[in-house]
Amino acid sequence: MTSTANGLIYLDNATTSWPKPDQVYAFMLDFYRRCGVTPGRSDSAKANEAAGIIENVRRGLTAFFGGDEDAPERLCFSANATDALNLIIQGLLSPGDHVVATALEHNSVIRPINHLVRDAGVQATFVPFGGRGFVEPDDIRSAIRANTKLVIVNHASNVLGTVQPVGEIGRVCKEHGVLFAIDSSQTAGVIPIDMKEMNIDVLAFTGHKSLMGSTGIGGLYVRKRVDIRITRSGGTGIRSEDPYHLEEYPYRLEYGTPNLLGIASLWAGLQWLEETGGASRVHAHEMALTRRLVDGFRQVDGVIIYHCEDLDDHTPVVSINIDGMSAPRVGSILDTHYHIATRAGLHCAPLVHEQMGTMPLQGSVRFAVGPFNTIHDMDAAIEAVSHIAAEARLKASRVDSSQS
């Protein structure tokens, strides 16, 4: 399989991985045709089979993330990572609490925190990242106060690709008795995660990126020593006579009919990852291509590459700009003239661009390599950027000549 289809080179895998493995498509279609019913609402064979796949994925993801082996019920499904992060932030913070986050965060963390600061008397500190794109654990330590309830960190930046030292940050949080949560949207399925080893209390994930699942599915894992306050309520399919939402997991954080097809896609995605050799092997392939891409961009005059000096502790994400051009303009030319799909703009991470000084350029152009990309894709991207940069230089020289 290749990421090139109908002439398109797809380099936007940090938004959504595409294409999915063929077996994911096949399993989703077969499973949904066979037992696409509501699980847990009846004792029919079909409903039980549907419930079975959900429980299998709970157990599979609990092991995958290094959660508590005897508590797979604490793996709770949600609509996506944004939904899960809202459950975490709103369910852990109360008026008077302080939360520490970073300038690398996605709006799925920034906005819920800002709403609580504005509307509920929560205090917040956003720790900046260093010159290489990493947050220092000691800076997290310095930001912790007596009333700090939660530290929440983007495991890997969706703009820079830098993988944060969450194990070290987790140790800092443990020393101070502060809860530690991570947003694994960019790492789940590509960077190994062990919640116990890394002292992570709560993890949010999405399914449609490196877990190779469909859109519209995500979730969170909550360690046994943590309880998240109920902020939503509704049907659970059991104990319907109870006038209040159920306290036990997973029902505590799950509401209404689950996304059965999305959960089934995660089952198939986990199987594919295992058969492929695991997250580390996929990551090695993607990073080999990323290094080729960065090396090529470094040879092009007028290309600015952000925080790729060292590609260790990195996801296959590269953000660039071209002198004299806005990021959206470059992205549009790549799409319309060269049939290369990237993501240009602020990437829902405005604090990153504020710190990098890329706001005047309307952000950056992000290239995100996936498991089905090829060397040909990298070389085509390098060639396209070379042509666009040459045109920008030529235009700039003409302007200079006309003004002289």
Supply the DSSP string of 261-294, one letter for each residue: HHHHHHHHHHHHHHHHT-HHHHHHHHHHHHHHHH
Residue 314, SS3?
A: strand
Provide the edge-to-edge strand list for the sheet that holds 317-322. Answer: 303-305, 317-322, 364-368, 343-345
Q: What is the pLDDT of residue 2?
A: 58
C-beta of residue 271 within 8 angstroms of C-beta of residue 286: no
Q: What is the pLDDT of residue 102?
A: 98
Q: What is the pLDDT of residue 314?
A: 98
Residue 377 CA, chain-centre distance (Å), reads 23
Residue 85 zone, left/alpha/beta (φ > 0; ψ -120 to 50; rest): alpha
293, 247, 391: which is closest to 333 by C-alpha? Answer: 391
Q: What is the pLDDT of residue 48?
A: 86
Provide the edge-to-edge strand list for the sheet that holds 340-341. Answer: 4-5, 8-10, 340-341
Rounded Cα–Cα distance for residues 114 and 107 (Å)? 10
120, 115, 153, 114: which is closest to 136 by C-alpha? Answer: 153
pTM: 0.95
Determine how β-strand 148-154 pairs with β-strand 179-183. parallel
Spell out the residues 6+ positions from residue 378 whose beta carbon is closer than 8 angstroms to its own: 289, 292, 293, 296, 369
Domains of the chain: 4-20+277-403 (3.90.1150.10), 22-276 (3.40.640.10)
Q: What is the pLDDT of residue 402?
A: 62
Tens of each residue's pLDDT in the chain, 404 residues: 556 557 899 999 999 999 999 999 999 999 999 988 888 766 788 888 889 999 999 999 999 999 999 999 999 999 999 999 999 999 999 999 999 999 999 999 999 999 999 999 999 999 999 999 999 999 999 999 999 999 999 999 999 999 999 999 999 999 999 999 999 999 999 999 999 999 999 999 999 999 999 999 999 999 999 999 999 999 988 899 999 899 999 999 999 999 999 999 999 999 999 999 999 999 999 999 999 999 999 999 999 999 999 899 999 999 999 999 999 999 999 999 999 999 999 999 999 999 999 999 999 999 999 999 999 999 999 999 999 999 999 988 777 666 65
